[in-house]
Amino acid sequence: MDVFGSFALLLAFICAVYAFVGGIFAIRTRHPLLVKSVRQAGMATCGLIFIATFSLVYLFFSDSYWVAYVVAHSNRDLPTFYKIAALWSGQEGSLLFWSFLLAVYVLSALFAYRNKNGELMPYVGVVLAGVQIFFLTLNNFVASPFKVLATPGTNGALEIFTRADGNGLNPLLQYPEMVIHPPNLYSGYTGFTIPFAFALGALLARYPGEKWIHLTRKWTMIAWCFQTVGVLLGAHWAYAVLGWGGYWGWDPVENASLLPWLTGTAFLHSVMMQEKRGMMKVWNVWLVFLTFMLCILGTTLTRSGIVSSVHAFAQSSIGNWFVGFLALILVVCLVAYVKNRDYLKSENQLDAIVSRESSFLFNNLILLVSCVAVLSGTLFPVFSEWLSGSRISVGAPFFNKVNLPIGLLLLFLTGVGPLLAWRKTSTDSLKRNFGWPSVFSLAVGVVMFALGLREFYSLVCLILCVFVASTIVMEFYRGAKVIRARSGASFAASAVDLTLRNTRRYGGYIVHMGMVLIFVGLAGAAFNKDAQKEMQIGSTLQIGPYSLLLQSFESKPERNYTAERMVVEVMRDNKALMMLYPERRFFQTNEQSGTMVAIYSTLRHDLYVVYAGQSPDNQRPVIHAYLNPLVKWIWFGGVIVVLGTIVTLLPNRRTVLALSAVQEPATARPIAPTLAPSITMREGHD
552 phi and psi, to 5 degrees?
A: -160, 170
Determine, following the binding rule CB under 8 A, whether residue 51 of this chain makes contact with another protein.
no
Residue 311 or 478: the one with the smaller Cβ distance to another protein is: 311
CA distance 214 to 537: 64
Strands (E), 49-198: 150-152, 158-160
Residue 347 or 591: the one with the smaller Cβ distance to another protein is: 591
CA distance 48 to 14: 10
Contact between 472 and 440 (Cβ < 8 Å): no
Residues of span 349-368 touching another protein by CB under 8 A: 350-353, 358, 361-362, 365-366
Residue 592 or 667: the one with the smaller Cβ distance to another protein is: 592
Shortest distance (Å) from residue 308 CB to another protein: 9
**What distances in angstroms separate CA 224 from CA 180, 229, 231, 325, one per listed residue?**
16, 9, 10, 23
* Residue among 20, 213, 47 at smallest CA distance from 128: 20
- Look up residue 344 and give its amino acid: L
CA 156 to chain centre: 51
**Number of C-alpha atoms within 13 angstroms, CB side, residue 83?**
19
Determine, following the binding rule CB under 8 A, whether residue 236 of this chain makes contact with another protein.
no
Cα torsion at 600, 603, 605, 610 (round to 10°)? 20
Among 80, 115, 317, 390, binds another protein (CB under 8 A): 390
Determine, following the binding rule CB under 8 A, whether residue 397 of this chain makes contact with another protein.
yes
Shortest distance (Å) from residue 508 CB to another protein: 24
DSSP H or E run through 540: strand 540-543
Binding range to another protein, per CB under 8 A, among 42-50, 278-286, 303-311, 492-500:
303-311
Contact between 548 and 609 (Cβ < 8 Å): yes
CA 90 to chain centre: 20
Determine, following the binding rule CB under 8 A, whether residue 158 of this chain makes contact with another protein.
no
Shortest distance (Å) from residue 299 CB to another protein: 13
CA distance 381 to 545: 43
Determine, following the binding rule CB under 8 A, whether residue 56 of this chain makes contact with another protein.
no
Shortest distance (Å) from residue 446 CB to another protein: 26
SS3 354: coil
Shortest distance (Å) from residue 369 CB to another protein: 5
Contact between 286 and 356 (Cβ < 8 Å): no
Three state DSSP letters for 167-236: CCCCHHHCCHHHHHHHHHHHHHHHHCHHHHHHHHHHHHHCCCCCHHHHHHHHHHHHHHHHHHHHHHHHHH
Shortest distance (Å) from residue 590 CB to another protein: 6
Determine, following the binding rule CB under 8 A, whether residue 126 of this chain makes contact with another protein.
no
Among 323, 379, 409, 430, binds another protein (CB under 8 A): 409
Determine, following the binding rule CB under 8 A, whether residue 320 of this chain makes contact with another protein.
no
Burial status of residue 117 (CB atoms within 10 A of its CB: 0-12, 13-18, 19 or more): buried
Fill in the DSSP letter of residue 142: I
CA distance 33 to 122: 12
Shortest distance (Å) from residue 638 CB to another protein: 16
**Parallel, antiparallel or unpaired: strands 540-543 and 529-534:** unpaired
Q: What angle do CA 190, 192, 193 make, to 5 degrees?
A: 70
Among 247, 325, 360, 476, binds another protein (CB under 8 A): 247
Compute how many residues bind another protein; rule: CB under 8 A.
89
Residues of span 612-631 touching another protein by CB under 8 A: 612-613, 615-617, 624
Binding range to another protein, per CB under 8 A, among 10-18, 340-348, 586-594, 634-642:
586-594
Shortest distance (Å) from residue 584 CB to another protein: 7
Residues of span 478-537 touching another protein by CB under 8 A: 522, 525, 528, 530, 532
CA 208 to chain centre: 31
Determine, following the binding rule CB under 8 A, whether residue 379 of this chain makes contact with another protein.
no
Determine, following the binding rule CB under 8 A, whether residue 555 of this chain makes contact with another protein.
no
Determine, following the binding rule CB under 8 A, whether residue 309 of this chain makes contact with another protein.
yes
Shortest distance (Å) from residue 571 CB to another protein: 24
Residues of span 164-203 touching another protein by CB under 8 A: 167, 170-173
SS3 286: helix
Residues of span 279-298 touching another protein by CB under 8 A: none
**Parallel, antiparallel or unpaired: strands 575-580 and 583-587:** unpaired
SS3 423: coil
Determine, following the binding rule CB under 8 A, whether residue 251 of this chain makes contact with another protein.
yes
Determine, following the binding rule CB under 8 A, whether residue 215 of this chain makes contact with another protein.
no
Determine, following the binding rule CB under 8 A, whether residue 592 of this chain makes contact with another protein.
yes
Residues of span 60-99 touching another protein by CB under 8 A: 68, 71-73, 89-91
Shortest distance (Å) from residue 328 CB to another protein: 26
Binding range to another protein, per CB under 8 A, among 162-170, 475-483, 484-492, 545-553:
162-170
Determine, following the binding rule CB under 8 A, whether residue 542 of this chain makes contact with another protein.
no
Determine, following the binding rule CB under 8 A, whether residue 444 of this chain makes contact with another protein.
no
Residue 590 or 602: the one with the smaller Cβ distance to another protein is: 590
Residue 487 or 615: the one with the smaller Cβ distance to another protein is: 615
CA distance 571 to 554: 21
* Residue among 134, 145, 131 at smallest CA distance from 88: 145
Among 400, 429, 601, 652, binds another protein (CB under 8 A): 400
Shortest distance (Å) from residue 672 CB to another protein: 26
* Residue among 261, 244, 94 at smallest CA distance from 178: 94
Q: What angle do CA 217, 42, 145 make, to 5 degrees?
A: 100
CA distance 611 to 586: 13
Contact between 8 and 51 (Cβ < 8 Å): yes
Determine, following the binding rule CB under 8 A, whether residue 406 of this chain makes contact with another protein.
yes
Determine, following the binding rule CB under 8 A, whether residue 541 of this chain makes contact with another protein.
no
Residue 238 or 464: the one with the smaller Cβ distance to another protein is: 238
Shortest distance (Å) from residue 634 CB to another protein: 11
Residue 328 or 392: the one with the smaller Cβ distance to another protein is: 392
Determine, following the binding rule CB under 8 A, whether residue 155 of this chain makes contact with another protein.
no
Shortest distance (Å) from residue 161 CB to another protein: 6
Shortest distance (Å) from residue 619 CB to another protein: 11
Shortest distance (Å) from residue 620 CB to another protein: 12
Among 50, 58, 119, 163, binds another protein (CB under 8 A): 163
Determine, following the binding rule CB under 8 A, whether residue 396 of this chain makes contact with another protein.
yes
Shortest distance (Å) from residue 98 CB to another protein: 14
Determine, following the binding rule CB under 8 A, whether residue 250 of this chain makes contact with another protein.
yes
- Look up residue 521 and give its amino acid: G
CA distance 240 to 601: 11
